[in-house]
Amino acid sequence: MMTPAEAAEPKVEPEAEPKDAPSGTFLRDATSTEAICARILERHRDRVSVRKPHLATANLARIIEAVLKLSSRQSFHEISLRDLARVSGLSMGGLYSYFDNKTTLLVMILTEVSETVEAVLRDAPAGLEADPAAHLRWLIETHIRLTEAMQPWFVFAFMEAKGFPAAARAFATESELATERIFADVLARGVAQGVFTIPDIDLTAALIKPLLQDWYVKRAKYRKRGTPIHAYIAGVIAFVERAIAGR
């Protein structure tokens, strides 16, 4: 009936990538743990006491990689700082050069995920707004590929949101709505142009969202079934396009 869980078991098998994958290079460059941690560092420069950026980025990456690894089997609250020190290779005290308390570490990860989604989805290739059907396809594929590239991050943010401090939770909610608005805009433009037929645009945008999220929330299930990412993307696009097809 439910259960996402244990999403990140074996290692990702590098799939033969179609050449025309959207934002291909961007996704690969911008979603490495190192690259993300460099951005986190920039956003939280004041909280991190280590001055050398290269060193700080590398260690923060090791810490966060340890969090994401351990969080596949335990909630964030269950992960002790001793576990974290052991898995990341730093000492207890060393950890506290990178955050002032455990909750800050949680917030660092959440905010980075939110910001990344927004930035990537708003960065559609020029001219795509003119073609709502193509734009929608691009949004669906890009969203799924982004969450694939940052899968442990998204699972973490999805599952741990409840435990965030109120401010961070409000921020996450707003971020969710922002994504939905991006989809609703495209749907509205398609209806205006007569290529889509949609009785309730907001509800439809809301229904597309969980179709995209299922790929990372239930990653283990699709892996077990042997569904490759391009098949999932094609399946979602086909399902959605038929559901909103114009007359």
Partner DNA sequence: TGAAAAATCGAGCGAGCGCTCGAATTTTTT
Partner DNA sequence: AAAAAATTCGAGCGCTCGCTCGATTTTTCA
Q: List residues binding a copy of itself (CB under 8 A).
A: 1-6, 72-78, 113-114, 116-118, 154, 157-159, 161-164, 169, 172-173, 175-177, 179, 199-200, 202-204, 206-207, 209-211, 213-214, 217-218, 220-222, 225, 227, 231-232, 235-236, 238-240, 242-245
Least distance in angstroms from the C-beta of 163 to DNA: 12
Least distance in angstroms from the C-beta of 148 to DNA: 30
Angle between helices 33-43 and 53-70 (to 10 degrees): 110
Contact indicator for 4, 217 with CB cutoff of 8 Å: yes
Least distance in angstroms from the C-beta of 127 to a copy of itself: 25
Q: Which two tokens stand for residue 114?
A: 């939110």
Dihedral sign for Cα atoms in the order 89, 6, 117, 110: negative
- Residue 51 or 225 having the CB closest to DNA: 51
How many Cβ atoms sit within 10 Å of the Cβ of residue 184?
19
Contact indicator for 142, 128 with CB cutoff of 8 Å: no
In the beta sheet, which residues pair with residue 196?
245
Binding map of DNA across residues 100-129, x = CB under 7 A, - = no contact = xxxx--------------------------
- Residue 19 or 242 having the CB closest to a copy of itself: 242
Contact indicator for 26, 120 with CB cutoff of 8 Å: yes
Under the criterion CB under 7 A, does residue 46 sit at the interface with DNA?
A: no
Contact indicator for 120, 82 with CB cutoff of 8 Å: no
In the beta sheet, which residues pair with residue 245?
196
Binding map of DNA across residues 72-91, x = CB under 7 A, - = no contact = -----x-xxxxx-----xxx
Which of the choices DNA, a copy of itself, none does residue 80 contact, using the CB cut-off of 5 to 8 A by kind? Answer: DNA
End-to-end CA distance of the chain: 36
Binding site for DNA (CB under 7 A): 49-52, 55-56, 59, 77, 79-83, 89-94, 96-97, 100-103
